[in-house]
């Protein structure tokens, strides 16, 4: 049983405590323009009105914390929860009974080397399956959608957790149903611990749910009764559905209280299509923080940054030292303004209605067909400057911990000397997104690799395109280089065009229009026989519109 226990998670759900000082950790970014300062001040003003306590995992119910060893028999069910105050929202959920309690979408705790034994029982009227996002498991257990669980059916999973410690997640992957099932609630977190992870938690005196907070970023649209609305037009199916209201842990306009200490945020972009440009802001300026880890666990060393992108499917592990914040005013987690690059192809993008800046989601001509639930917040278009959460900084006990200079034994990324395998992203002008000119066919393996091969893939996005967060099943990878990046990406990049999150182990990489990204993949694995996986865009509607291919790993 992991030392990363439910007791640690539930130890305190109140203020996050302590005080101290590490010079320069959270210094305000110099040279912020008047326009940027005005934008940040506007987001801080917006966050001042946030009045809903952030929903945190508890001992049961939605996001209840559960050891993975107790995640044995899981039912896919229809249920209802309160998302908007005073309204019950119908959702889909993974339901588990354990210790006389009911859990919905439990947050799972495990340790590297643990064995997972799970029976999935499908109690809804659609086929479904669990994909263990980011885990290196055999294709039989991957839940890649090549085999699904029919209504009334069941499937048994059995695999070992071989991957580095990180925050992974699980969600549905039945082709034809992925976007709507994920949007309606089928997703949650899997925390895997190892010795390096345990050492960091001890060094910084972190407790999950107290000074270590998971943040699931999602956007949703509701009707007047508080029901989720998911009814994409042809343009929205092609572009990707973007909801008009922003949620963190299924909480709209949330706040938390935090002590003057190092606080860790484990962030998942759980949206169907929306990307964010994240920053912590205070007093009209961005505040520095440390990137500690990515999809596949801790970096070798912490990287000090003041903003970063996060696209659908990606995770970020960040450390914020609130001792350097002004204790007299709150800190705001925000998404800064950026160009989402949705209409790079102009009007010839293969959909049936004219392209608009909202092409990747909200088609405003469709609003009014189902009355929206009342909200005091403006409609949240992707790329808008918006507050996500307010952090109220409170006086707290003495805290003298410092962020370690070394976090893990992560080796440097190395590329194969062989010519790269090219993955060209585009669209066919007929409403389909493509990889190497083809659309997804589950009956055909579009490519094969040899077990144990080390390959370099060059993922090339067309200029007349949209951003694509590309996710590889079965194997984590390293980003080696970015070429041809747009200006908004180059401004955050370092050597070889790499972004901060490119420095770690990842399973999903955002590829912007006109950009080429080189990744290094090691196809070594311990599984018997040939393996089948998929490679796809994690903008879920893009995957459904063809941007997915099946590949095999030959013994």
| pLDDT of 376 | 57
- Percent of the chain whose predicted confidence (pLDDT) is above 70: 88
pLDDT at 350 exceeding the cut of 80: no
**285 vs 362, higher pLDDT:** 285
Residue 238 lies in a domain: yes
Which domain covers residue 139, as residue numbers? 61-198
pLDDT at 175 exceeding the cut of 60: yes
| pLDDT of 397 | 86
On whether both 77 and 46 belong to a single domain, the answer is: no
Tokens of 500: 């901060």
Task: Round to whole Å and give the CA distance between 461 and 297.
Answer: 27
What confidence tens digit (pLDDT) does each residue in 382-433 have? 999 999 999 999 888 899 999 999 999 999 999 999 999 999 999 999 999 9
On whether both 68 and 120 belong to a single domain, the answer is: yes
On whether both 455 and 322 belong to a single domain, the answer is: no
| pLDDT of 494 | 95
Q: Per-residue confidence at 15, pLDDT binned at 50, 70, 90?
A: very low
pLDDT at 541 exceeding the cut of 60: yes
Residue 415 lies in a domain: no
On whether both 76 and 106 belong to a single domain, the answer is: yes
| pLDDT of 373 | 59
Number of neighbours of residue 522 by Cβ within 10 angstroms = 15
What confidence tens digit (pLDDT) does each residue in 262-275 have? 999 999 999 999 99
Residue 107 lies in a domain: yes
Question: What is the rounded average pLDDT of the residues 185-195?
Answer: 98
On whether both 436 and 341 belong to a single domain, the answer is: no
On whether both 390 and 300 belong to a single domain, the answer is: yes
Grouping H, G, I as helix, E, B as strand and the rest as coil, residue 172 is strand
On whether both 189 and 163 belong to a single domain, the answer is: yes
Domain end residue (candidates: 148, 167, 198): 198
- CATH number at 138 reads 2.60.40.420
pLDDT at 12 exceeding the cut of 60: no
- Percent of the chain whose predicted confidence (pLDDT) is above 90: 83
On whether both 148 and 43 belong to a single domain, the answer is: no
Residue 38 lies in a domain: yes
Question: What is the rounded average pLDDT of the residues 364-385?
Answer: 62
Which helix (H) or strand (E) segment holds residue 239: the answer is helix 234-239
Mean residue pLDDT of the chain comes to 90
On whether both 253 and 376 belong to a single domain, the answer is: yes
Question: What is the rounded average pLDDT of the residues 237-241?
Answer: 94
Question: What is the rounded average pLDDT of the residues 477-486?
Answer: 98
pLDDT at 344 exceeding the cut of 80: no
On whether both 425 and 538 belong to a single domain, the answer is: yes
Domain end residue (candidates: 394, 412, 435): 394
Residue 399 lies in a domain: no
Domain end residue (candidates: 341, 359, 394): 394
Residue 402 lies in a domain: no
Task: Round to whole Å and give the CA distance between 186 and 188.
Answer: 7
Domain count, the chain: 3
Q: What is residue 371's DSSP assignment?
A: P
Instruction: Kindly give, in sequence order, each residue whose CB lies less than 8 Å from that of residue 284, ignoring residues fewer than 6 positions away.
Output: 32, 37, 38, 40, 41, 44
On whether both 370 and 294 belong to a single domain, the answer is: yes
pLDDT at 25 exceeding the cut of 80: no
Contact 499, 308 (CB under 8 A): yes
Instruction: List 222's β-bridge partners, or say none.
Output: 228
Contact 247, 219 (CB under 8 A): yes
On whether both 181 and 285 belong to a single domain, the answer is: no
Residue 351 lies in a domain: yes
Residue 83 lies in a domain: yes
Question: What is the rounded average pLDDT of the residues 126-155?
Answer: 98
Question: What is the rounded average pLDDT of the residues 338-344?
Answer: 87
């Amino acid at each position: 049983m992991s030392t990363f226990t439910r007791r640690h998670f539930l130890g305190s759900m109140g203020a996050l405590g302590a005080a101290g000082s590490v010079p320069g950790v959270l210094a305000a970014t110099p040279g912020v323009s008047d326009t940027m300062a005005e934008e940040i001040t506007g987001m801080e003003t917006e966050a001042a009105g946030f009045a809903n306590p952030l929903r945190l995992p508890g001992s049961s119910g939605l996001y209840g914390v559960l050891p993975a060893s107790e995640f044995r028999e899981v039912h896919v069910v229809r249920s209802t929860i309160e998302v908007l105050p005073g309204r019950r929202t119908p959702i889909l959920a993974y339901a588990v009974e354990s210790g006389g309690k009911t859990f919905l979408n439990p947050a799972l705790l495990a340790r590297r080397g643990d064995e997972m034994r799970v029976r999935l029982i499908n109690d809804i009227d659609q086929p479904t399956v669990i994909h263990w996002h980011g885990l290196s498991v055999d294709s039989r257990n991957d839940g890649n959608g090549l085999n699904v669980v029919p209504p009334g059916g069941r499937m048994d999973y059995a695999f070992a957790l071989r991957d580095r410690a990180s925050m992974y997640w699980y969600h549905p992957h039945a082709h034809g149903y992925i976007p709507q099932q994920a949007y309606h609630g089928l997703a949650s977190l899997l925390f895997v611990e190892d010795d390096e992870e345990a050492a960091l938690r001890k060094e910084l005196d972190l407790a999950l749910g107290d000074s270590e907070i998971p943040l699931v970023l999602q956007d949703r649209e509701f009707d007047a009764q508080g029901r989720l609305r998911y009814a994409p037009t042809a343009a929205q199916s092609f572009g990707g559905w973007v909801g008009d209201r922003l949620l963190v842990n299924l909480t709209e306009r949330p706040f938390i209280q935090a002590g003057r200490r190092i606080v860790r945020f484990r962030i998942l972009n759980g949206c169907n299509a929306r990307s964010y440009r994240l920053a912590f802001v205070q007093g009209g300026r961005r505040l520095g923080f440390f990137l500690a880890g990515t999809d596949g666990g801790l970096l070798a060393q912490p990287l000090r940054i003041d903003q970063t992108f996060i696209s659908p499917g990606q995770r970020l592990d960040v450390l914020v030292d609130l001792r350097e914040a002004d204790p007299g005013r709150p800190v705001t987690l925000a998404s800064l303004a950026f160009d989402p690059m949705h209409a790079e192809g102009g009007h010839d993008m293969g959909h049936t209605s004219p392209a608009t800046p909202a092409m990747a989601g909200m088609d405003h001509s469709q609003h009014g067909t189902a009355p929206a639930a009342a909200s005091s917040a403006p409609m949240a278009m992707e790329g808008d400057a918006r507050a996500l959460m307010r952090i109220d900084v409170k006086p707290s006990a003495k805290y003298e911990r410092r962020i370690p200079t070394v976090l893990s034994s992560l080796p440097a990324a190395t590329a194969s000397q062989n010519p790269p395998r090219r993955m060209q992203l585009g669209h066919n002008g007929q409403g389909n997104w493509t990889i190497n000119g083809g659309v997804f066919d589950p009956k055909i393996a579009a490519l094969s690799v040899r077990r144990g091969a080390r390959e370099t893939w060059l993922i090339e996005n067309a200029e007349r395109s949209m951003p694509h967060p590309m996710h590889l099943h079965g194997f984590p990878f390293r980003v080696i280089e970015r070429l041809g990046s747009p200006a908004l990406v180059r401004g955050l990049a370092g050597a070889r065009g790499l972004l901060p999150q490119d420095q770690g182990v990842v399973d999903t990489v955002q590829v912007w229009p006109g950009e080429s990204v080189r990744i290094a993949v090691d196809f070594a694995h311990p599984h018997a026989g040939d393996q089948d996986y998929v490679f796809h865009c994690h903008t879920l509607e893009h995957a459904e519109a063809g941007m997915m291919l099946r590949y095999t790993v030959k013994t």
